[in-house]
Amino acid sequence: DNLRQPEAIMEDSINKPWRTMPSKRMTPEHAQVVMFILYACAVVNSIRVGGLAQCLTLIGLGFWYNDARGADVSCILRNLINGLGFMCYTSGAVQLELGPSQWQSFIRADGLGLPWLAIIGAIVFTTVQTQDLYDQAGDSARGRKTLPLVIGDASARWVTAAFMLFWGIVSPCYWGWLQTSQSGVLFWGGAYMAALACLIAGRTLTLRSVSADKSTFLLWNLWLVSQYALPLCAGL
């Protein structure tokens, strides 16, 4: 969906000409047809197996991000939509895995579930600009207001590194990382998360080439995926 807009095609023709629409293997109109078909399939499947609220929310976020240009007009909106999207992905998967009764228990007001989902959203909101550091040329060409283009490359790197260090400690601590009563699995899992966050922060500040930033973004994705293992490490 986010590759079929005219601005996106122009951007991809600069830095990703192999993609489907810049290479003219598909037209934007064809992409829109495929999008609507897959949206319909997703809604029907969500009605059948669960996660309908998350599915509909993601469709709305997709429209906001792409058609309403929420990803272009403000770096805050761009990061916010990404954060909300990851909360939908996470909560939908957890809801299907737990089933109705355990899901209600997971999201009760005095439980651990809702704050954890909020942490996932906040992590993405404050650090997802890692993907924008290596794509500044394309984003600038299309007039997109990403964090590095709004506050400058150096400032964006310091902001990103600071939040990486913050969440690298706070996130595992939320699950009781430093409590002596917890298992060794959680301790070493939390240590891994903290070390990986430090590595990403260090790379963000010291390695500033396009190729290095792409590798740093891959590590960020690995770190983000690892967040989902923390509840398991805590024995939940």
The tokens for 173 are 């601590």
Q: Name the nearest CA neighbour of 197 among 230, 153, 148.
A: 230
Per-residue CA distances from 218 to 213, 224, 225 (Å): 9, 10, 11
- Report whether 183 contacts 235 (CB < 8 A): yes
- Stretch among 10-19, 35-44, 51-60, 64-73 having the lowest mean pLDDT: 10-19
Count of CB atoms situated within 10 Å of the CB of 92: 20
pTM, two decimal places: 0.90
Distance CA 233, CA 227 (A): 10
Distance CA 85, CA 58 (A): 6
Distance CA 205, CA 85 (A): 27
Q: Which pLDDT tens digit goes with each residue over 19-39?
A: 999 999 999 999 999 999 999
- Report whether 205 contacts 161 (CB < 8 A): yes
* Amino acid identity at 8: A
- Report whether 119 contacts 174 (CB < 8 A): yes
pLDDT of residue 236: 66
Task: Report the pLDDT averaged over residues 135-161.
Answer: 92
User: How confident is residue 218, by pLDDT bands cut at 50, 70 and 90?
Assistant: very high
pLDDT at 181 over 70: no
Distance CA 37, CA 27 (A): 16
End-to-end CA distance of the chain: 36
Distance CA 84, CA 72 (A): 17
**What is the residue-averaged pLDDT of the chain?**
91
Distance CA 24, CA 44 (A): 31
Q: Name the nearest CA neighbour of 137 among 2, 219, 21, 16.
A: 16
